[in-house]
């Protein structure tokens, strides 16, 4: 079987080129660019790398970037006050609170404090809850609301790779509000039959083997083995972990599993670049909403 490697770098470059044109037109029409504010608390090296990449990507497509680095000692109230100030700032159309936060800080009330129409990551309860309301993908997209970036990146990867979702059995491995739950709602909107699996799922390998499309998002290095994958399945790896021998790896044992798949995403270079592209997409869509 010939396996397709789904190249997130290539696809995200295509999406960024589309966004760049739209941003240029938006800026010409309004006299100002879409603006993204990034809040980074503490010294987590991975978070610093992620945010630096996001800032670079903003510059690449013409989005204004407002970066707010804060020490790990920053208080909950300081962060909330900053978010409330950015909610009122007309130059900021989208706000991203980089997760995870240092110990002692609670992300939930801070994410809830972000104006739903400035929610760059689509994690506000209003935006997550709205996913249950839409009948189909067209309604979801036409709403203009921000969709969770990583699941939306997965969907764009599958759609732009001409991988059919309607009528197929999709298994989502992981139930977080960041990926698993919104991922399931988006797949349902595209008429897939969806199963969510997690740590308490009985006979997890058997459940995963039922998948035509398997999305792994559990944060465990190389957890998904060939014995968990159906011959010819499409495997999407959302994980990003430090490999025991150094370097990065996903939640899927890539080299072993790819031999059984019809298509698979690598780590790095798969869903990561798509997530950043969807963040830029959300920023532009939110700017359009606020300009309307």
98 part of the active site = yes
**Can you say whether the dihedral through the CA atoms of 174, 176, 177, 178 is positive or negative?**
negative
Bond before 215 cis per omega within 30 degrees:
no
Which listed residue (54, 118, 181, 258) is catalytic? 54
What gap in Å lies between CA 16 and CA 4, rounded to an integer?
22
Is the Cβ–Cβ distance between 215 and 238 less than 8 Å? yes
54 part of the active site = yes
> Which conformational region is residue 214 in: left (phi greater than 0), alpha (psi within -120 to 50 degrees), or beta?
beta
What gap in Å lies between CA 98 and CA 201, rounded to an integer?
30
Which listed residue (98, 145, 156, 285) is catalytic? 98
Which listed residue (121, 212, 237, 253) is catalytic? 121
What gap in Å lies between CA 280 and CA 63, rounded to an integer?
8
121 part of the active site = yes
Strands 94-97 and 35-41, how do they pair?
A: parallel
Indicate which residues carry an active-site annotation.
54, 98, 121
């Amino acid at each position: 079987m010939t396996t397709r490697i789904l190249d997130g770098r290539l696809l995200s470059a295509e999406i960024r080129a589309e966004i760049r044109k739209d941003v240029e037109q938006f800026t010409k029409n309004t006299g100002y660019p879409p603006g993204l504010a990034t809040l980074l608390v503490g010294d987590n090296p991975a978070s610093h790398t992620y945010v630096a990449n996001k800032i670079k990507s903003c510059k690449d497509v013409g989005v204004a970037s407002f970066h707010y680095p804060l020490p790990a000692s920053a208080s909950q109230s300081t962060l909330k006050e900053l978010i409330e100030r950015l909610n009122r700032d007309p130059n900021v159309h989208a706000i991203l609170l980089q997760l995870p936060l240092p110990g002692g800080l609670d992300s939930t009330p801070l994410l809830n404090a972000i104006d739903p129409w400035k929610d760059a990551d689509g994690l506000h309860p209003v935006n997550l809850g709205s996913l249950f309301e839409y009948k189909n993908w067209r309604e979801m997209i036409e709403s203009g609301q921000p969709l969770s970036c990583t699941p939306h990146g997965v969907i764009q990867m599958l759609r732009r790779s001409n991988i059919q979702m309607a009528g197929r059995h999709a298994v989502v491995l992981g139930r977080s509000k960041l990926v698993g739950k919104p991922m399931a709602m988006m797949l349902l909107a595209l008429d897939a039959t969806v199963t969510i699996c997690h740590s308490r799922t009985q006979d997890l390998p058997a459940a995963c083997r039922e998948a035509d499309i398997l999305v792994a998002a559990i944060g465990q290095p190389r957890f998904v083995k060939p014995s968990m994958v159906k011959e010819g399945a499409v495997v999407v790896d959302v994980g990003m972990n430090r490999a025991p021998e150094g370097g990065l790896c996903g939640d899927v044992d890539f080299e072993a599993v790819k031999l059984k798949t019809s298509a698979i995403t690598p780590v790095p270079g798969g869903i990561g670049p798509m997530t950043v592209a969807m963040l830029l997409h959300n920023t532009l869509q939110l700017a359009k909403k606020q300009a309307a």
